Structures are given as structure tokens and as C-alpha cells.
Amino acid sequence: MSGAAAVRMAGIVKRFGRIVANDSADLEVASGEIHALVGENGAGKSTLMRVLAGMYPPAAGVVEIATDSGPLRDVTGWSTRQAIEAGVAMVHQHFMLVPTLTVAENLILGRELRRGLALDLRAADREVRELSERTGLRVDPSRLVSNLSVGEAQRVEILKTLYRGAKVLILDEPTAVLSPPEVGELWKVLRRLRDDGGTVILITHKLDEVIEISETITVMRAGRTVGRMRTTDSTPRTIAKMMVGRDVSLALASREPGAGSGGPDPPREATSPVSRLPSPGLRVENLTVSSPRKPNEVDGVSFTVARGEIFGIAGVEGNGQTELIEAITGLRAAASGTVSLADSSGTLRDVTTHDVRARADTGLSHVPEDRHRRGLILEYSVAENLILGQQHRFTGSANVLDRARIAGNAASRITTFDIRPPDESLPSRSLSGGNQQKVVIAREMGRDFTVLIAAQPTRGVDVGAIEFIHDQLRKARSEGKAILLVSADLVEILALSDRVAVMYGGRIVVTLPGSDASAEVLGPYMTGAQGTAA
């Protein structure tokens, strides 16, 4: 199917203030192909695609789009509306949906079907249902968007663009929020789209995905295009090298046995009577969490995470993981059950009735799943963010902030955790996603703690930073910390966890030693096909 160019961008320059996001970047995508645009976070991929989708006018360069009759048309500096009309649409990392409207209402927004003066919602509902069936993007059109999981919301975003007749579909890291079966579904949808003559541009930095789905690849680094090749001619290693500009260890690709062997033995390898009873760091017993729309978001969950252990919770998002984490960290009250944490002396303390700060003081660190909503105050400087949650420890007399200690703390964290650019006074908003996450990691792992809740710790983070964050988690394990890893990224769970549990429908449906876990074994549990009978 692939043939003539559908999209051609040449010499694109885009600046934000003093920052050059695109520095003469090029891109050419043939129609009817799936093209992977890869590069580290901050390499300028999203910016380039936003220029293509009409959200930013470029400072220099040319954007051309194939017309129906064939020849390319110069569309440099067009608007989003013009782009959508020409069939170029982008699905963003952060969704652009109206939460108070239903799926169908969101889809028809801007091109409402009318019957007389009234909206013809029934026809809309039917159309959406048909589209949903045809593309395999299954989602109930009558549900409110605010009630959808992240994965479902993404499906709605893709549906929205298809509903508007997208011929060139741009996806910005679409798999960051999906479970393996959902990723498989997405690939099917994209391939179907391609086979129908559509063009797909996929922004990603997951190299296995690039190899699996794409036909051609463009690699970006520091705002420039540094390579363009056929997927069949590349390997993850060559792509990674081109992305980062140096060799990286692709630890993710394979489990590294014994990575945590420096500390107390994880339970599955227990050999002596003493280490068979590892001291618990976090214990959750019969925890039930309610929300206004569901009485059992978390439904009687019990587990213990030993010190020196990484306990991974896998599962499709929206199965109670968020509520579980919030109940453990004190952000949400438990309906019943208890949460206990080991304090610095190793004594397990019941903290069920304690607030967020008291739990943090007991020894709980928390890398939240959404750094933009909870993890960082984006307008605050890096230094200010590096004390969030610990601000009461950075005061002198009478609650006055100790600015010298705040600056000293920032300087040391920035060095230790390699936060770039190394400027503590920059607003956190101006950092790249990977460096924002490093700020969160530096704050939560750079202080004394006994238990770490790491939720989606590498979401939207580039390869180099993933490597770094995983190393930090392994190091913390070897230092005897109890780590609860909650991730929708099964590869990550499998790469790090000593034990793996799957959450489905608010329950833990299976717990396995890490050595017995694999995508094949866990997949059925994640979709509810197995383990829910009891």
C-alpha cells in the first residue's frame, strides 16, 4: 500500500522562549504506512507533530501534505481546524475530552447531528457504536467520560479522530497507559487503518513497539532528525544508540536475575529459617475502599511487602490500583481494613487513621502515578518541589522556611539524581517529562524512608531515564526498603518484581513469584478471563 509521500516536513524550527524544541527537523512519511517517530523525552517529537497538526506555527521550515489528487500542498502554519479538515489529527498524551459529557457527546462535539433544533443523540450513539465495532475500539458510547479509565479515554480519543475522518493519524505515546491485551488491540486497529490506506505516525520511545508495529522510523535527538530507516534494517540497539547518542544497556528487554541480591533475600529465594520470615515493611489487611460511584473500588485486598522486596501489582488501569494507592498513602479514607507501615526501627505501626503527613513521617515515600496532577506543583521551582511533603522539615523557628537548607537540598538532589538542566530555580513546568519525574524520584527516594509506593514510575519517561529509575528502585531494594510497584507496563513489572500480583475488579486475583510470571501467564488474569470465579 505504501507509496507516495503523505506528509513531508523540512527544516522545521520551533522555539519556546530561549529553548529550541525543533532545530531544523525533517520528516517524510509515505501514505499507507505506520511510521515510528522515536527519540528521548525532550527530543522535540511532540513539538514536531504539533507543528504538523497545526497547533504551533513553525519559525522556519515547510510542511506539506498530500492532496487527494496527488501532488503535495504547502500547508505551513495552518490551523488545527484546517488540519482536521484535511484529515490530519493528533491523539495527545494528555486527553482533550470533556469529562461531564458522554462518549458519544464528546465524539460529535463540533459536528453535532441535528434533528430539528435538537441534537440527534440516538443517531450519534448508533454511529459511534458502529464505528466502535468496525475499528475494534470498543467503548460504551453512553458512558460519561469522567467514569472512564485512562485506557478507555484513549480509545475515545482515537475514535474521535477517526469519526472526523482522519487520514493521517498522529499518536503521542499511545501505549503508555495500556495493558498488553489493549496494546495488541491497538496494533490491530492501526494495522486495519493502514490497510485501508491511512497513514499512522506513532511517537514512542519503546523500542520493542517500534520493531513490532512500524515500517519506517525517524529518530530525533535534541530537536534534529538524526536518522531515517526501514524497520527491517534496524535493531533496538541501533535505534537506542541513535536516540541517545551512546550505547545504553537495554535492561528492560530481559529480566536480570539477581539484580537485587545485595540485600536481604526476597521471599521466593528464602533458604534459611531466619530469612523465611522477612520483616514486613508494608502490610495491607482486608482493605476496602469506596467511592461515590462504587462501594468496592478496592475489595478486601490483603498483602504484605517485605523489606528488601519489590512487590509488583500489574493490571489494566482502573481496576482499583489508584484507590488502593490513595488508601495506603492516606489520600483517601479506607472503608474498612488496616494499613501498617514499618517505621525506621522496623516496628510495624498501624497507620490506618493517620493523615498523609503522619504516614510520610513514619517512613512512607510515594511516587504518584500522575506527576502533573499530584507529584509536582508545576509553577513551583525545582527547589520548592524538592521539599513538597517534607516542607515541615525545612523550617527554622516559627514556621519560617529555611532557604539555605532548601537550596542545599536542591543542589545535592540535582547532582545525585542528574536532574537537567541543573538549575534549582527553574519552574518545574519547563523541565522535560523525564527530568520532572527525576525531581519526584529525587524527592521521594533521596530521603529516609522504609516503604516506597512507586506508581507508574517511568510513564512518559525516556529510555535513559527509565534505566536510571529502575536502577534506583533496585538499589533501594538492596538497601532493605519495601517497594510496592504499581504499573500498567507489564515489561516493567516483570523486569523488577520479586513477586507479582494482578489486580482486577478491585481484587488481587493472583500472586506469583516473579520467576513464574510472564505476559502469557498474567494476561488472562488482567482481562478477568481467569481468577475471578472465586
CA distance 516 to 463: 26
* Sole residue written with cell 514499618: 342
364 close to 451: Cβ distance less than 8 angstroms = yes
384 close to 408: Cβ distance less than 8 angstroms = no
Q: Is 254 an interacting residue with respect to another protein (CB under 8 A)?
A: no
Number of residues that bind another protein (CB under 8 A): 70
Q: Is 271 an interacting residue with respect to another protein (CB under 8 A)?
A: no
Residues 406-425 that bind another protein (CB under 8 A): 420-421, 425
42 close to 433: Cβ distance less than 8 angstroms = yes
DSSP string, 418-465: T-SS--TTSBGGGS-HHHHHHHHHHHHHSS--SEEEEESTTTT--HHH
Least gap, CB of 455 to another protein (angstroms) = 11
- Collapsing DSSP to helix, strand or coil, 335 comes out as coil
Indicate the residue among 231 and 437 with the shorter CB distance to another protein.
437
Among 1, 3, 4, 79, binds another protein (CB under 8 A): 79
Site string for another protein, 85-124 (x = CB under 8 A): ---------xxx----------------------------
Least gap, CB of 74 to another protein (angstroms) = 19
CA distance 155 to 173: 13
CB 151: neighbour CB atoms within 10 A? 21
End-to-end Cα distance, the chain: 49
Indicate the residue among 279 and 381 with the shorter CB distance to another protein.
381
Q: Is 331 an interacting residue with respect to another protein (CB under 8 A)?
A: yes
CA distance 27 to 145: 34
Among 21, 219, 242, 442, binds another protein (CB under 8 A): 21
Q: Is 380 an interacting residue with respect to another protein (CB under 8 A)?
A: yes
Least gap, CB of 531 to another protein (angstroms) = 32
State the DSSP code for 456. Answer: S
CA distance 419 to 74: 40
State the DSSP code for 427. Answer: B
Among 4, 109, 377, 404, binds another protein (CB under 8 A): 377
Q: Is 55 an interacting residue with respect to another protein (CB under 8 A)?
A: yes
Least gap, CB of 332 to another protein (angstroms) = 10
Residues 428-487 that bind another protein (CB under 8 A): 429-433, 435-436
Among 19, 60, 348, 411, binds another protein (CB under 8 A): 19
Least gap, CB of 483 to another protein (angstroms) = 18
Indicate the residue among 218 and 231 with the shorter CB distance to another protein.
218
Indicate the residue among 280 and 330 with the shorter CB distance to another protein.
330
Q: At what angle do helices 403-416 and 433-445 cross, to 10 degrees?
A: 110
Q: Which helix (H) or strand (E) holds 249?
A: none
179 close to 522: Cβ distance less than 8 angstroms = no
338 close to 287: Cβ distance less than 8 angstroms = yes
Q: Is 357 an interacting residue with respect to another protein (CB under 8 A)?
A: yes
Q: Is 47 an interacting residue with respect to another protein (CB under 8 A)?
A: yes
62 close to 51: Cβ distance less than 8 angstroms = no
Residues 301-330 that bind another protein (CB under 8 A): 329
Q: Is 404 an interacting residue with respect to another protein (CB under 8 A)?
A: no
Least gap, CB of 188 to another protein (angstroms) = 28
Phi-psi region of 222 (alpha: psi -120 to 50; beta: other; left: phi over 0): left
Residues 153-212 that bind another protein (CB under 8 A): none
Return residues touching another protein (CB under 8 A).
14-23, 40-47, 50, 54-57, 79-81, 94-96, 222-223, 329, 331, 355-357, 360, 366, 368, 372-380, 384, 388-389, 391-392, 394-395, 399-401, 403, 420-421, 425, 427, 429-433, 435-436
